[in-house]
Amino acid sequence: MAQDEVILRFNKVFFEFGNKPILKDADFSVRRGSKVTLMGQNGAGKTTIFKLITGELKPESGTISIGEGLTIATAKQVIPRSEMELTVREFFEKAFPAKVYDIEPRIEKILEVVHLDAPQDKLLKTFSGGEQARLLLAQALIQDPDILLLDEPTNNLDKQGISHITQFLIDYKKTCIVISHDADFLNSFTHGVLYLDVFTHQVEQYTGDYFKVVEDIKARLERERMKNARLLKDIENRKEQANFFGQKGGHMRDVAKKMNAKIDELSEEIVETRQDDKTIRSFAIPCQEDLVGAILKLDSVSVMKGHKPTAKKVNVVLKKKERLLLSGPNGIGKTTLLERLASGHVKGEHIAPGTRVSYYRQDFSTLDFEKTVYQTLVEAAEDRTEEGLRSLAAGFLLDSEILKTKVGALSEGQKGLTAFAKIALEKPGLLILDEPTNHINFRHIPVIAQALDRYEGAMVLVSHVPDFVKQIKITQVLDLGELK
């Protein structure tokens, strides 16, 4: 095929999940060698499109055409729970339908590409979130696919990791489709955007760099908003006139009838507000009452050096309104420390008795995937009425249908919003957050940052997103990579 030839095409594809439409007459194409962003609201169906491309899901109608003999590989958002007990070698072996006899040197080579030192007999569950992200990317790359699908590839990656993957994709010669909420990352290499509209369930195709396309979409939405405003004003004026003439009788009633017909015609021109452009409402995380003095003390921490834990002395004390930013490279031990803090099983750590701890885990394992969203929130609520709980959920874009859905069936972004809704109900004294912007739509991030900045309890935060951290007043920083 020629470099510019179409190698992937969706033609009037219809797909629904549990009677919920995801795609309606979706049309788009991807050319060989192009690098495209797949954009849309959390839960719109971006990951579903990936599964349709790979054949894991089949459309109800329409066709999906892929160039003959072309191979596809996906770097997923997270390693499935069922695979966490696998070794690195077993994880890579699963990428191939048949046994590969030279698998070990191939693994070593591909791990160098993603800049990861990983013993091949090490269990996946022992790696940090950032290291797991690199493993997911490496598992896709080792297949040398013609079409590479990347689902949130920068989640959990440190600055160095994001820099490596960015340069890799700039140099990459094959076709790549990426789902990500990292605007700077996307703008560095993409040629265009596929925009999945959660309201129309169609895919709009744009060319140009990411920032330009985002501005084009914003401008179009603003034009739609202004058109709606003009139409609504016109309709309101015509309704007043129609009511006036309708009361006069005779010929005036015929005039009123024609005016009402025109009102109906104008009403059909109104473009309904696009649901995928909604942002979560401003929210608060109430702090546990009656907290005094030190909430958290850290005398020592464990850092990873050469895959072995090493104890290091520290002196960290957190009271109300104090926030600790925990930093360091992937694999240094940040997530491990947070897990131990949340469980109360870490040496050199003291949490004030009676302190209520809320933990936002990057893999959402603090949520029960078998429970519905409603059950999850009810269990966290102490004094909320039914109406109050549903109102809070709606503020996080968790509507009545989502409330009835099991957590495990949600998109990763919806799990994140459920986790924040749960935290807002728990009223913690100590809030522990591990990469809280992962999977979250960029529109929601300023709202979340504002809520965290106003939170009055103690907070421990891990985040590799500088723009997000800047919006929160940090009182202490502990860099595990710099501990001697």
Q: Which of 200, 215, 230 is the last residue of a domain?
A: 215
| Number of domains the chain contains | 2
Residue 378: per-residue pLDDT: 94
Claim to verify: residue 208 and residue 316 sit in the same structural domain: no
Claim to verify: residue 314 and residue 210 sit in the same structural domain: no
Is position 225 within any domain? no
Query: Three-state SS across the chain?
Result: CCCCCEEEEEEEEEEEECCEEEEEEEEEEEECCCEEEEECCCCCCHHHHHHHHHCCCCCCEEEEEECCCCCEEEECCCCCHHHCCCEHHHHHHCCCCCCCCCHHHHHHHHHHHCCCCCCCCCEHHHCCHHHHHHHHHHHHHCCCCCEEEEECCCCCCCHHHHHHHHHHHHHCCCEEEEECCCHHHHHCCCCEEEEEECCCCEEEEEECCHHHHHHHHHHHHHHHHHHHHHHHHHHHHHHHHHHHHHCCCCHHHHHHHHHHHHHHHHHHHCCCCCHHHCCCCCCCCCCCCCCCCCCEEEEEEEEEECCEEEEEEEEEEECCCCEEEEECCCCCCHHHHHHHHHHCCCCCEEECCCCCEEEECCCCCCCCCCCEHHHHHHHHCCCCCHHHHHHHHHHCCCCHHHHCCEHHHCCHHHHHHHHHHHHHHHCCCEEEEECCCCCCCCCCHHHHHHHHHHCCCEEEEECCCHHHHCCCCCCEEEEHHHCC
pLDDT tens string 190-222: 888 998 887 788 898 888 888 887 788 778 777
Residue 275 has pLDDT above 50, yes or no: no
Is position 197 within any domain? yes
Is position 244 within any domain? no
Chain mean pLDDT for the chain: 87
- Domain membership of residue 169 as a residue range: 6-71+145-215
CATH number reported for the structural domain that contains residue 438 in this entry: 3.40.50.300
Claim to verify: residue 323 and residue 178 sit in the same structural domain: no
Q: Which of 171, 196, 215 is the last residue of a domain?
A: 215
Claim to verify: residue 60 and residue 176 sit in the same structural domain: yes
Is position 231 within any domain? no
Claim to verify: residue 339 and residue 432 sit in the same structural domain: yes
Is position 132 within any domain? no
Q: Which of 163, 195, 215 is the last residue of a domain?
A: 215
Percent of the chain having pLDDT more than 90? 46
Is position 179 within any domain? yes
Claim to verify: residue 196 and residue 306 sit in the same structural domain: no
Claim to verify: residue 338 and residue 470 sit in the same structural domain: yes
**Stretch 209-237: mean pLDDT:** 80
Residue 229: per-residue pLDDT: 81
Claim to verify: residue 165 and residue 50 sit in the same structural domain: yes
Claim to verify: residue 329 and residue 193 sit in the same structural domain: no
